[in-house]
Amino acid sequence: MTDTIFALSSGAPPAAIAVVRVSGPQAHALLERMAGPLPEERTLSLRSLHVWHSGELLDRALVAWFAAERSVTGEPLVELHLHGGRATVDAVEAVLASVPGVRRARAGEFTWRAFENGRLDLVQVESLSDLLRAETEAQRRAALAEGGLSGKVEQWRQQLLQLSALAEAALDQSDEDDVPADRARIDAVAADLIAGIGQLLARPGAERLFDGARVVFAGPPNAGKSTLINALAGREVAITSAIAGTTRDVIEAPVRIGGVAFVLTDTAGLRQGSGDEIERIGIDRAQRRIDEADLVVWMDERAEPDVADEKLIRIFPRADEPGRSDAAPGMRVSAVTGEGLADLADMLVERARTLLPREGEVALTRRQREHLAHCHAALVAFAAEPDELIAAEQLRLARQAIDELTGRAGAEEMLDALFGTFCIGK
């Protein structure tokens, strides 16, 4: 029999209220034993909780229970809203744990059960995972929007099933010359699917939102890269010194600016013809970072950047220093006086937003994109395939890709990785 699991789901002690959730076949019986006859379903009711064998009072708490058909886990579920002191929570948990077949939940186990019981599909689990780890406003909104993806995918799956049925019927009829295959309808459904999925694939992905837009600061030794990163980050993240070549490797600082996540990367100064082997390796790495960056803050007024326009931000650093030319290209910035810092921050946010999913729009994670891209490719191959048997195989591949996307066809490793991101009690 399935274990009944419990966990503190919110309000780590000491807190005003600590919610312990209990899910599994014994959940309702446990509540009855502690609190007496079950109150109305899905309604918080005040009850005294007792240790049933000794009669000892555990807490006066708000309790609620949910039938399996209406619970988030798809199992009998109970919530105990306890007074959030350590001793109260410990005492209740100890009583629960003393019952055979009842144990503490592992990380993500409530969500896992919801998935197993068909309450959530994998796309919904991912958006929940994103919501729980959202740290910026943009991430929170995107995770909520992601919730809408599941419905869209289900609609595509239905269309694919319809397409498969049509193609199957056409295959059966192909020997009978007098019955025209419903080719026009097949083409229309396929074209619709290809367009819809293609549109979503063309949008910026969700990973930048969570991983942060990658900004590389590039320029000669002593340009003030590390000092500028520290000023933007509002803390010491990079080593600064007056000795040219201080930053020998790459230092990354995850920061939030204007509600957007960034990773600011300090690179070794791009000095040509450096004699020092270690410094040269640092410079190679810097070049690679520039190639991979979303945005490059170029801090060298004497050299022309070898960086695509759409990711280039040119600044004129250390602008406060006497004798610095007024005619140099780029936005004047001083990490010391603060001149131009707010403008630079605004520009970073503005440029980063063009790389990020638009607010409220569904954005795909890497995993989702991969499966949808497979589905899309199979559909395109299907539409172009004259041989009906090969075309049917392409449709099967498209269906498989969708099923992998929603978790109907399981890839165990991926499930482990995903559920590993949840905390205990979720």
For the annotated binding site, the residues are 21, 79, 119, 222-227, 241-247, 266-269, 426
Q: How far is the CB of 290 from ligand GTP (least distance, A)?
A: 14
Nearer to ligand GTP, 21 or 225 (CB): 225
Nearer to ligand GTP, 108 or 224 (CB): 224
Compute the distance between CA of residue 262 and CA of residue 232 in angstroms, rounded to an integer: 11
Nearer to ligand GTP, 143 or 215 (CB): 215
Nearer to ligand GTP, 318 or 426 (CB): 318
Q: DSSP assignment, residue 241? A: -
Nearer to ligand GTP, 162 or 246 (CB): 246
Sequence ranges of the binding site for GTP: 222-227, 241-247, 266-269
CA dihedral 5, 6, 10, 11 (to 10 degrees): -160
Q: Please return the burial class of 365, using the count of CB atoms within 10 Å of its CB with bins 0-12, 13-18 and 19+.
A: buried
Nearer to ligand GTP, 242 or 389 (CB): 242
Q: Which residues sit at the interface with ligand GTP, rule CB under 6 A?
A: 221-227, 240-242, 244-247, 268-269, 317-318, 320-321, 334-336
Q: How far is the CB of 262 from ligand GTP (least distance, A)?
A: 18
Rounded (10°) angle between helices 149-173 and 366-384:
20
Q: How far is the CB of 243 from ligand GTP (least distance, A)?
A: 7
User: Maximum CA pair distance of the chain?
Assistant: 90
Nearest CA-CA partner of 260 in 210, 186, 221:
210
Sequence ranges of the binding site for Mg(2+): 226, 247
Compute the distance between CA of residue 423 and CA of residue 104 in angstroms, rounded to an integer: 13
- Token match 């619970």: residue? 71
Nearest CA-CA partner of 252 in 226, 234, 219, 279:
226
Q: How far is the CB of 318 from ligand GTP (least distance, A)?
A: 4
DSSP-based three-state secondary structure for 248: coil
Give the containing element (helix H, strand E) for 106.
none
Sequence ranges of the binding site for (6S)-5-formyl-5,6,7,8-tetrahydrofolate: 21, 79, 119, 426
Nearer to ligand GTP, 244 or 303 (CB): 244
Write a three-state SS string for 258-299. CCEEEEEEECCCCCCCCCCHHHHHHHHHHHHHHHHCCEEEEC
Q: How far is the CB of 71 from ligand GTP (least distance, A)?
A: 55
Q: How far is the CB of 246 from ligand GTP (least distance, A)?
A: 4
Q: What is the DSSP string of 129-152?
A: HHHHH--SHHHHHHHHHHTTHHHH
Q: How far is the CB of 286 from ligand GTP (least distance, A)?
A: 9
Structure-block tokens of residue 406: 């929603």
